[in-house]
Amino acid sequence: MRVSGNNRVMSELKNNPECDKFVATSVPSSNVDDQLFHELMESMGFVVFERAGRSSFSIKGNVPEWFVTIFGDEPLSNSELAPENLSPFVENFIPIAEQFWSENKSGMQRSGPWTEPDRLGNDHHLEISAVSLGEKHVLLLQILGQAYQEKKDLLQQCRDQGLDYEILFKTQQALNHAHDLLLTKQQKLDEDMLAAADVQSRFLPKDLTRIGNVEVAYKFNPCSSIAGDMFNVVRLDENNVAIYILDVSGHGAAAAMMAVSVCQMLPPNFGALAGPLCEGAYKPGLLDPREMLEALDAEFPMERFDKYFTIFYGVLNFPGGLLTYSNAAHPHPLLIHSDGTIDFLDKGGTIIGLDGIIPFEQEKRPLKKGDRIILYSDGVTELQDADGMLFGMDRLIDLLNLHRREPLSSIVESIESALIEYCGSCEPQDDMSILAIEIQDL
C-alpha cells in the first residue's frame, strides 16, 4: 500500500537511524501539518528546501549553525535559492530527485553520504534526501553526526576483527601472491643493476696510480649502484695521454647506459670515431680535443637520445708537457700550479647534443713538473647539506689550498671525507666523481 503525504515521510523517518530524535517525539503522523513538520525537521538539525519554482526552492524555518559554517552566509527563512549552487554533489543529485518526484514514488530518495569541506578546510559528512508532502516536493539536507561516525567505526571494527574470514583469506592470498611477484621482480632488477654496474666499471680506471709521467688518483661515488659519471686516463701512444671526465644528464640506468655508449667512442675504445670521422691526417687516438667534441656532438644528438652530457677532454703531450683541451660545459677543472696558484680550464663550448649550434674552442696550456689538475663532476660542488646549502666552489678551493702540500692521493681522500662530512645523514643528490693528475717528470 502506498503511503501518502506526511504519513509517508513519517514512515521513512522512523526507519532512518539518523532520526531517532524525531521518533522519540511520538507525535501522531496524521496530525503533523506542514508547519509542524518543518519545526520538527529544524529541531533535528535538518535544512528543509521546498519547491518554489521551476528551478528554485525556498528555505523553510531557520538554518542550523552547521549550514552557515559549511556554506557561508546565513539565508533567511522563506528566501529562495538553487540548492545545486551549494555543491557539485547536490547539483548531480537534483536530476535524481526530479526523476523520483515525477514517478510519484513512495518513500524517500536518499543521495547517500558525501564529504563537503567548510571554508577552513574541515570535512563534514552530509546527506540530502528527496521526499513528497502531498503535492509538495521537498529536499531535506542533514549533517551526519555522531551516529554516522559510530556506524563507520563499527564497520571498521568488523573489518579489523576479521569477521569476514573468506574475504580476508582471499585478500591475504592475493597480497601474498603480489608480494612474491614484486620480490621476484625486485631480485631480477637488482641482478640487472649489478650487471650494469659491472659493465660500467670496466670503463673506469682500475687500480691506476700512474701512467707514464702522470700520477693519477680518483674517487667514484655514484648516488645509486650505477651512474651517469665516467672518467679515465688513457695512453694514446708513447708521447700522448688522454684525460676525460663526462656527466650525462639525469640518474639511474638510462644515464648510465648512455655514459657507457659515450665511453665506447672514447679512447681506448674509439668505436665509430675510428671510422670515417678520423680518416686523413690523424690516427684515431690523436684527434684534437675540439674535433673529438665535434665528433661526439654529431654522434649523440639530443633529439635522438633525449639526453645530453657535459665532457672535458684533454691530451697531454710529452716530453714537453703541453696540455691541449676542450671543455663542453663541464664544471671547469682546476689547474693547480706548483707554486700554489690556481687557474680554471674553461675554454670549450656548450653541452654535447646541440648538433654544432656553437663551435667548440680549444686551448693549449704548458705544464710544469708538480702541476696538478683536479677534475670533478657537478655532484661535488652542488652537494647539499641538511639545510639545502651547497658545498660550493669556494669550499673546494679552500680545501685544495689547505692540503696542497700533501700527496695527490691524500688530497683526493680529503675531498671525499669533506663531502661525506658535509652532507651528514643526507643522501647525495647526484653522482660525485673526482679525478686528479700530477705531472711527475718532463
Instruction: Find out whether 246 and 293 touch, Cβ atoms under 8 Å.
Output: no
Cα–Cα distances in angstroms (integers) from residue 426 to residues 170, 176, 227, 251, 287, in the given order: 41, 34, 18, 17, 42
Give the CATH number of the domain where residue 326 resides: 3.60.40.10
pLDDT at 26: 33
Residue 188 covered by a domain: yes
Instruction: Give, to the nearest 10 degrees, the angle between helix 252-263 and helix 165-201.
Output: 20
Distance of alpha carbon 92 from alpha carbon 48, whole angstroms? 18
Considering the domain architecture, whether residues 244 and 382 belong to the same structural domain is answered as yes
Same domain, residue pair 218 and 300: yes
Do 233 and 183 lie in one domain? The reply is no
Residue 33 C-alpha cell reads as: 501539518
Q: Dihedral (C-alpha) 383, 297, 305, 249: value to the nearest 10 degrees? A: 0
Q: Which pLDDT belongs to residue 55?
A: 74
Q: How many CB atoms lie within 10 A of CB 356?
A: 13
Strands (E) across 348-431 are located at 348-349, 363-366, 372-376
Cα dihedral sign, 76-78-80-83 = positive
Quick one: how far is CA 342 from the chain centroid? 39
Domain containing residue 38: CATH number: 3.30.450.20
Nearest Cα to Cα of residue 220 among 4, 438, 433: 433
Which of the 8 DSSP states describes residue 77? T
Number of folded domains that form the chain = 3
Q: Is 371 exposed, middle or buried (0-12, 13-18, 19+ CB in 10 A)?
A: buried
Same domain, 364 and 295: yes
What is d(CA 204, CA 197) in angstroms, rounded to the nearest whole number? 11
Residue 200's CB is within 10 A of a number of other CB atoms, namely 22
Same domain assignment for residues 74 and 23:
yes
The per-residue pLDDT for 77 is 66
- Answer whether residue 158 is part of any domain: no
Q: Tell me which residue range forms the domain holding 19.
A: 5-151
Of 335, 288, 289, the C-alpha closest to 312 is 289
Q: 393 and 264, same structural domain? A: yes
Residues 230 and 323 in one domain: yes
The pLDDT of residue 297: 93
Is there a single domain that holds both residue 319 and residue 432? Answer: yes
Domain presence at residue 381 = yes
Task: Name the nearest CA neighbour of 267 among 286, 282, 245, 285.
Answer: 285
Q: What is the pLDDT of residue 225?
A: 63
Domain assignment present for 276: yes
CB 331 within 8 Å of CB 378: yes
Question: Which cell numbers in the block locate residue 241?
Answer: 695521454
The predicted pLDDT at position 306 comes to: 85
Is 157 part of any domain?
Answer: no
Q: How is 165-191 classified by DSSP, letter by letter?
A: HHHHHHHHHHHHHHHHHHHHHHHHHHH
Q: What is the pTM of this model?
A: 0.57
- What is the chain's pLDDT, residue by residue, as a tens digit (442 residues)? 333 334 433 444 444 444 433 333 333 343 345 666 667 777 777 888 888 877 788 888 788 888 888 888 777 667 787 777 788 888 888 889 889 888 887 778 988 888 888 888 888 889 999 988 777 888 888 888 766 766 666 666 655 655 555 666 677 778 888 888 888 888 877 776 676 667 677 778 888 899 988 999 999 988 776 778 899 999 998 899 999 999 998 777 778 888 888 988 888 876 545 443 333 333 444 788 999 999 999 999 988 888 899 999 999 999 889 999 999 999 999 999 999 999 999 999 999 998 888 899 999 999 999 999 999 999 999 999 988 899 999 999 999 999 999 999 999 999 999 999 999 888 888 889 999 999 998 7
- Residue 335 in 3-state DSSP? strand
Phi-psi region for residue 263, left (φ > 0), alpha (ψ -120 to 50) or beta? alpha
Enumerate residues 6+ apart whose C-beta is below 8 A from 132.
Answer: 5, 8, 9, 101, 104, 138
Instruction: Give the end-to-end CA distance of the chain in Å, rounded to a whole number.
Output: 112
- Domain assignment present for 108: yes
Please check whether residues 308 and 428 belong to one and the same domain. Answer: yes
Q: Is the domain of 261 the same as that of 248?
A: yes
Residue recorded with cell 691526417: 281
3 state SS of 207:
coil
In this structure, are 398 and 261 located in the same domain? yes
Same domain, 194 and 212: no
- pLDDT, residue 5, reads 38
Give the sign of the dihedral formed by CA 434, CA 440, CA 441, CA 442: positive
The answer to the question of residue 342 being in a domain is yes
The distance of Cα 370 from the centroid of its chain, to the nearest Å, equals 46
Does 322 fall in a domain?
Answer: yes
